[in-house]
């Protein structure tokens, strides 16, 4: 639904929100949690320019319970978006009340945008699945089920951390193919994965699937997600049950949830190659075909300890996903699985079709065989201690205001002795 809150001509009395380069103009209004000091409770806020608006202090909510806000559904979210837009516009009669509830982002701490009870990670990026599959099965990179079913696994919610949290290099069992037996060691093939995270709003009852026509009613919005991966641990442990210690040590997400409403002008048709099997009926709808894709540009940046400024490694687009976010929600619940407010679904790595569009170092370096040359003369096959990975995402379309997601960043710390 596109309405006056998306009007590109709207400007805010928060002058930093009018900067063409900001991620958080008046047309965005993402939700998150902040606090002024580490001993204070988390408060719900909305990003606007270089500030955060305290929703309770502005008289817009009565509780600091983010799960309750997520559970209220799309109609409440749209009403709150409209109140925020009207109060933050130039000439608003609410300016004095809102201004008193405004805090500079530089003076607050940002945390996880909500409490995450459950986390599932999908494998919906076909270019990533193909590139990784070619490393192991050159003649048949995609398994037979890939184009029929949205593949996923249940992740570890307890190790999801907000942007800026340092990431400790993990340890686990490693066994190269030529070694007679495994040993315990710190990973030597630490990697990132560029993903988006779907934040669930209203949930569903156990045993009650969510039809695809209603799936988007259960999506509050999106965050950036870095699914850190220890590739040598993963290669040894993943058969037969899939990822375990190679993934569970940390997952980083960005602090702001960009709502489905903010993304309405950036919807796109969902299309598959004509030769591919079409989705089964439970994963298909007229709305999903016409508007199921999202035009979101995604980037990975790397800063090494020897760099002053980060270097962009790649760029892709969420439109490259093989499955839409609505299809992921519907498939997650088709067996009766219940989702709850604040649950997180990862899309899987979003790579593009080009060799330089891999969403992980595993792809960009062909499994470590082709080192990546950096602008300062350094090379990387996998991440080294002190490296900082920064994920960024934004939407740009002619005639519209650019909106963004903020950063999703983490710096690698040395492993602890084991």
Calculate the dihedral angle through the C-alpha atoms of 105, 106, 107, 112, rounding to the nearest 10 degrees.
60
Quick one: which of 80, 32, 33 has its CA closest to 59? 80
Task: Kindly write down the DSSP assignment for every residue of 207-249, as one continuous string.
Answer: T----GGGGGGGEEEEEEEE--EEHHHHHHH-TTT--SHHHHT
Long-range contacts of residues 59-66, Cβ cutoff 8 Å, at least 24 apart: 59/97, 60/84, 66/31, 66/33, 66/113, 66/114, 66/115, 66/342
CATH numbers and ranges of domains, the chain: 4-110 (2.30.30.230), 119-413 (3.90.850.10)
Residue 38: the pLDDT is 85
Q: Are 354 and 162 in contact (CB under 8 A)?
A: no
pLDDT at residue 49 is higher than 90: yes
Strand partners, 161: 252
The C-alpha angle 272, 393, 6, rounded to 5 degrees, equals: 85
In sequence order, the 6+-apart residues with CB closer than 8 A to the CB of 378 are: 304, 306
pLDDT at residue 223 is higher than 90: yes
In sequence order, the 6+-apart residues with CB closer than 8 A to the CB of 92 are: 13, 86, 98
Q: CA-CA distance, 186 to 181, in Å (whole number)?
A: 16
pLDDT range class, residue 393, cuts 50, 70, 90: very high
Q: CA-CA distance, 334 to 85, in Å (whole number)?
A: 37
Q: CA-CA distance, 193 to 185, in Å (whole number)?
A: 22
Q: Tokens standing for 340?
A: 């709850």
pLDDT range class, residue 366, cuts 50, 70, 90: very high
Residue 42: the pLDDT is 97
In sequence order, the 6+-apart residues with CB closer than 8 A to the CB of 198 are: 219, 222, 325, 328, 329, 344, 345, 346, 347
pLDDT at residue 37 is higher than 90: no
pLDDT at residue 418 is higher than 90: no
How do residues 119-154 score in pLDDT, each as one tens digit? 999 999 999 999 999 998 999 999 999 999 999 999
Check residue 84 and report its DSSP letter. Answer: H
Q: Are 299 and 312 in contact (CB under 8 A)?
A: yes
Give the start-end residues of each E strand in 326-387. Answer: 344-346, 372-373, 379-380
- Mean per-residue pLDDT, 223-242: 96
How do residues 408-417 score in pLDDT, each as one tens digit? 999 999 999 8
pLDDT range class, residue 14, cuts 50, 70, 90: very high
How many other CB atoms are there within 10 angstroms of residue 24's CB atom?
A: 27
Residue 17: the pLDDT is 98
pLDDT at residue 1 is higher than 90: no
How do residues 163-195 score in pLDDT, each as one tens digit? 999 999 999 999 998 999 999 999 999 999 999
End-to-end CA distance of the chain: 54
Active-site residue among 6, 127, 128, 218? 128
Length of the chain: 418
The C-alpha angle 240, 352, 113, rounded to 5 degrees, equals: 75
Residue 417: the pLDDT is 84
pLDDT at residue 73 is higher than 90: no
Question: Quick check: is 128 catalytic?
Answer: yes
Residue 289: the pLDDT is 97
- Mean per-residue pLDDT, 219-245: 96
Residue 178: the pLDDT is 93
- Mean per-residue pLDDT, 322-328: 98
- Mean per-residue pLDDT, 4-21: 98
- Mean per-residue pLDDT, 28-33: 98
- Mean per-residue pLDDT, 149-161: 97
pTM of the predicted protein model: 0.97
- Mean per-residue pLDDT, 255-275: 97
Q: Give the whole-number percent of the chain exceeding pLDDT 70.
A: 100
């Amino acid at each position: 639904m596109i309405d006056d809150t998306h009007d590109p001509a709207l400007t805010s009395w928060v002058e930093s929100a009018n900067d063409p380069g900001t991620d958080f103009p008046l047309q965005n209004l993402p939700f998150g949690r902040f606090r002024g000091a580490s001993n204070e409770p988390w408060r719900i806020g909305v990003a606007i320019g270089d500030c955060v608006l305290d929703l309770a202090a502005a008289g817009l909510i009565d509780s600091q319970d983010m799960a309750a806000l997520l559970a209220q559904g799309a109609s409440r979210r749209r009403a709150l978006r409209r109140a925020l837009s009207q109060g933050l516009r130039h000439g608003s009669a609410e300016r004095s009340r809102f201004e008193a509830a405004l805090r500079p982002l530089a003076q607050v701490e940002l945390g996880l945008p909500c409490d995450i009870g459950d986390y599932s990670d999908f494998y919906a990026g076909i270019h990533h699945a193909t590139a990784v599959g070619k490393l192991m099965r050159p003649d048949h990179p995609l398994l037979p089920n890939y184009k029929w079913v949205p593949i996923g696994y249940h992740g570890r919610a307890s190790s999801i951390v907000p942007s800026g949290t340092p990431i400790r290099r993990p340890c686990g069992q490693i066994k190269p193919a030529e070694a007679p037996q495994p040993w315990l060691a710190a990973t030597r093939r630490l990697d990132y994965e560029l993903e988006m995270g779907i934040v669930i709003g209203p949930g569903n009852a156990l045993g009650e699937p969510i039809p695809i026509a209603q799936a988007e009613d259960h999506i509050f919005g999106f965050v950036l997600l870095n699914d850190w991966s220890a590739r040598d641990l993963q290669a040894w442990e993943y058969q037969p049950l899939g990822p375990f210690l190679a993934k569970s040590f940390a997952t980083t997400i960005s602090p702001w949830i960009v709502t489905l409403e903010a993304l309405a002008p950036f919807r796109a048709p969902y299309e598959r190659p004509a030769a591919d099997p079409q989705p089964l009926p439970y994963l298909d709808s007229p709305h999903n075909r016409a508007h199921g894709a999202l035009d979101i540009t995604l980037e990975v940046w790397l800063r090494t300890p020897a760099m002053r400024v980060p270097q962009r490694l790649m760029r892709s687009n969420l439109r490259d996903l093989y499955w839409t976010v609505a299809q992921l929600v519907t498939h997650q619940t088709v067996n009766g699985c219940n989702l709850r407010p604040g649950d997180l679904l990862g899309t899987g790595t979003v790579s593009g079709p080009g060799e330089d569009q891999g969403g992980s170092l595993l792809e960009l370096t062909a499994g470590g065989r082709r080192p990546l040359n950096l602008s300062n003369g350094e090379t990387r096959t996998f991440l080294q201690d002190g490296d900082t990975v920064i994920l960024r995402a934004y939407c740009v379309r002619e005639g519209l205001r650019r909106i963004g997601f903020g950063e999703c960043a983490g710096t690698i710390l040395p492993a602890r002795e084991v």
